[in-house]
Amino acid sequence: MTKKILVVNTGGTIAMSVDDTEGVKPLDDQAVNKILPFLERYADVTMKNVLNLPSPHMTPKIMNDLRLQIEEAFRQEQYDGVVITHGTDTLEETAYFLDLTLSVDVPIVVTGAMRSSNELGADGPVNLISSVRTAADPGSLNKGVLVVFNDEIHAACHVTKTHTSNVATFQSPQYGPIGTIAKKSVQYHHAPLAREHYTISHADGNVPLIKAVAGMDPSWLQFLLDQPIDGLVIEAFGLGNLPPAIIPTLQQLLDRGIPIVLVSRCYNGQVQDVYDYEGGGRKLKEMGIIFSNGLNGQKARIKLIVTLQKTRDFQELQKLFDQ
């Protein structure tokens, strides 16, 4: 039976065109709509243009509005799957946000393009076709939000943008893709073991992300003491270690009840409380810093914005970040 797929367009390079000066800009009408006739071979597609944003303009609040719009569309009509087109720069953040919060029980696929719509070899149309095929495939059920790009299927919780321009930019460094788009079929190799879902009402927490570097000056963090922040994510060195110079400021933030989540600036592995020197992971854990579970910095920030609506208790948050 023909599957009913909702395609929700939000903008990005897939909806942009390149001009004579090689500048790339959003189009007035969404370029994605021109791909619609090619999708009808694979599914009964309804297309909604909800935004036309370059994805650096995306915010958690807009991600949450997008979630609400999709849930509302399902109150009006039932679909067998959803595809969201999105700019690639922050695609992983929106995909992961939806993975954690969207209450719709059908395959959800996020895709986009690295080449604009009028470029030779534009990848938008094929990515969109692959995404509609994936959303319509029964094998895509119960695998969380998926990112389909360059004939590969990735789990939203693991995927990240790894290249500035290559069409194979989306990779899952720790685990690889979970499936492949073959010429005639969608094939899965494995799936994420754990799924998380949070019921939230808004997504406007103020959570900065700071990266640790050698010789970090404490003043780079001290200004946060005067900001109304709800939480902080730090990309630490290696296994989860920080320069000793910033520890007193972190202690002050913790004393004020600001949860601090630690991730690694390595893109493989996870932070652990092993090193017992000043600034080492073991000391950070003793201070009450929350250790993340292999998420990258931008995704840990999304998870903290979401989970802060459930609790501000450091130990409860640690349990959620252990999942």
Cα dihedral across residues 28, 30, 35, 36: positive or negative: negative
CB 39, min distance to ligand ASN, A? 19
**Cβ-based nearer residue to ligand ASN, 163 or 189:** 163
Q: Does residue number 231 form part of the binding site for ligand ASN (CB under 6 A)? A: no
Q: Does residue number 88 form part of the binding site for ligand ASN (CB under 6 A)? A: yes
Residue 88 annotated as binding site: yes
**Cβ-based nearer residue to ligand ASN, 58 or 247:** 58
Decide the pairing of beta strands 152-155 and 179-181: antiparallel
Q: Of 8, 10, 12, 153, which one interacts with ligand ASN (CB under 6 A)?
A: 12
Q: Does residue number 9 form part of the binding site for ligand ASN (CB under 6 A)? A: no
Residue 237 DSSP label: B
Q: Does residue number 54 form part of the binding site for ligand ASN (CB under 6 A)? A: yes
For ligand ASN, the nearest residue by Cβ is 87
> Left, alpha or beta for 244 (phi > 0: left; psi -120 to 50: alpha)?
alpha
Q: Does residue number 87 form part of the binding site for ligand ASN (CB under 6 A)? A: yes
Catalogue the active-site residues: 13, 88
Residue 56 DSSP label: G
Residue bearing tokens 């788009």 = 181
Residue 160 annotated as binding site: no
- x/- contact string, 167-196, with ligand ASN (CB under 6 A)? ------------------------------
* Spatial distance between the Cα atoms of 144 and 98, rounded to a whole number of angstroms: 9
In the numeric block, which tokens belong to residue 304?
């903290």
Start-to-end C-alpha separation, the chain: 37
Per CB under 6 A, contacts with ligand ASN among 109-168 are 112-114
CB 24, min distance to ligand ASN, A? 8
CB 26, min distance to ligand ASN, A? 9
Decide the pairing of beta strands 44-49 and 160-161: unpaired
**Cβ-based nearer residue to ligand ASN, 104 or 209:** 209
Q: Does residue number 89 form part of the binding site for ligand ASN (CB under 6 A)? A: yes
Stretch of 107-115, 260-268, 297-305, 312-320 contacting ligand ASN, by CB under 6 A: 107-115
Helix H or strand E segment including 66: helix 60-76
Q: Where are the beta strands (DSSP E) in the chain?
A: 4-9, 16-18, 24-26, 44-49, 81-85, 108-111, 146-149, 152-155, 160-161, 170-171, 179-181, 186-188, 209-211, 232-236, 260-264, 290-291
Residue bearing tokens 């719009």 = 69
Residue 273 annotated as binding site: no
**Cβ-based nearer residue to ligand ASN, 31 or 295:** 31
Which residue positions form the known binding site? 55, 88-89
Which residue positions form the known binding site for substrate? 55, 88-89
- Contacts with ligand ASN by CB under 6 A lie at 12-13, 54-55, 87-89, 112-114
